[in-house]
Amino acid sequence: MSEAITLDAQIRTDLGKGASRRLRHANQTPAIIYGGDKAPVSITLAHNKLFKAQEAEHFYSQVLTINVDGTEEKVIVKAMQRHVHKPQVNHVDFLRVDATHELHTAIPVHFLNEDKCAAVKAGGTIAHHANEIEVACLPAALPEFIEVDVANLEAGQTLHLSDIALPAGVESVELRKGESHDQAVVSVTAAKGGAAEESAEEADAE
Tens-digit pLDDT profile for residues 67-95? 998 899 999 999 999 988 888 889 999 99
Q: How confident is the model at residue 156 (pLDDT cuts 50, 70, 90)?
A: very high
Taking alpha carbons only, the member of 173, 162, 168 closest to residue 140 is: 168
Cβ pair 62, 5 in contact under 8 A = yes
| Alpha-carbon torsion (110, 115, 119, 120), positive or negative | positive
Tens-digit pLDDT profile for residues 42-54? 999 999 999 999 9
* Cα 74–Cα 169–Cα 80 angle in degrees, nearest 5: 40
The pairing of beta strand 64-68 with beta strand 28-34: unpaired
pLDDT of residue 203: 39
Asked whether the predicted pLDDT for residue 202 surpasses 70, the reply is no
Mean pLDDT of 22-35: 84
The pairing of beta strand 146-149 with beta strand 103-112: parallel
Q: Look at residue 121 and give its three-state secondary structure.
A: helix
Cβ pair 160, 183 in contact under 8 A = yes
Cα(23)–Cα(14) distance, integer angstroms: 10
Report the percent of the chain where pLDDT is more than 90. 71
Cβ pair 6, 75 in contact under 8 A = no
Cα(30)–Cα(45) distance, integer angstroms: 7
Residue 188 DSSP one-character state: E
Looking at every residue in the chain, the average pLDDT score rounds to: 88
Asked whether the predicted pLDDT for residue 25 surpasses 90, the reply is no
Q: In what order do the strands lie in the sheet with 103-112?
A: 146-149, 103-112, 132-137, 171-172
Q: How confident is the model at residue 36 (pLDDT cuts 50, 70, 90)?
A: confident
The residues pairing with 108 across neighbouring beta strands, listed in sequence order, are 132
Q: How confident is the model at residue 199 (pLDDT cuts 50, 70, 90)?
A: very low
Q: How confident is the model at residue 205 (pLDDT cuts 50, 70, 90)?
A: very low
Range from 17-21, 31-35, 134-138 carrying the lowest mean pLDDT:
17-21
Please report the domains of the chain, with CATH numbers, ordered by start residue: 6-96 (2.40.240.10), 103-205 (2.170.120.20)
